[in-house]
Amino acid sequence: MSNINASQTVIVYADGGSRGNPGPSGCGSVLKNGETQELICGLSKYLGIATNNVAEYSGLVLGLTEAKARGYKSVEVRMDSELVVKQMLGVYRVKNENLKPLFMEAQKLSRNFETFKIVHVRREYNKEADKLANEAMDKKDATLIQ
């Protein structure tokens, strides 16, 4: 990967959901240019049977993995999951054993960036990632939108 993205900030919108808790689940992530808000890519992934919180963390990991692969050094994550945001910030402890591996993976990925920020946003500001998560559940498949 080239260093073309090294000086740019990427905004990662991440979401996950399940139909039933646990139930069929999926996650989505949208990467946008931090300056122009132009779409860089959208990703979705079907997760099988999982809880909503596992799906939320999976969306975060999906987006961070893509941002790293594209060479970004500065990342701002926006999620509507208050639990994930507060756990990533260290405000809440991760008590659920099923979430610990995903939390640790997200923390490890976050350390790959020179600057990392994660913020909670209201659901209406995360519609694109939510749509991708729902499409993954509907299609039971993964998607990459360039």
Q: Is 146 within a domain?
A: no
What is the tally of structural domains in the chain?
1
Give the bridge partners for 12, in sequence order: 31, 77
pTM attached to this predicted model:
0.94
What's the rounded Cα separation, in Å, for the pair 116 and 140?
31
pLDDT of 1 reads 36
Looking up residue 15, the CATH number of its domain turns out to be 3.30.420.10
In angstroms, the Cα distances linking 127 to 17, 49, 97, 117, 138 are 12, 22, 29, 20, 16
Instruction: For the chain, give the mean pLDDT.
Output: 94
Q: Is 3 within a domain?
A: no
What's the rounded Cα separation, in Å, for the pair 72 and 116?
11
User: 123-128: which pairs have CB atoms within 8 A and are 24 or more residues apart?
Assistant: 123/80, 125/78, 125/80, 126/13, 126/14, 126/15, 126/78, 126/79, 126/80, 128/13, 128/28, 128/30, 128/42
pLDDT of 8 reads 87
pLDDT digits (tens, 9 = 90+) for 53-67: 999 999 999 999 999
Q: Is 1 within a domain?
A: no
pLDDT digits (tens, 9 = 90+) for 88-131: 999 999 999 999 999 999 999 999 999 999 999 999 999 999 99
pLDDT at 145 over 90: no
Residues in the chain: 146
* Domain housing 30: 9-141
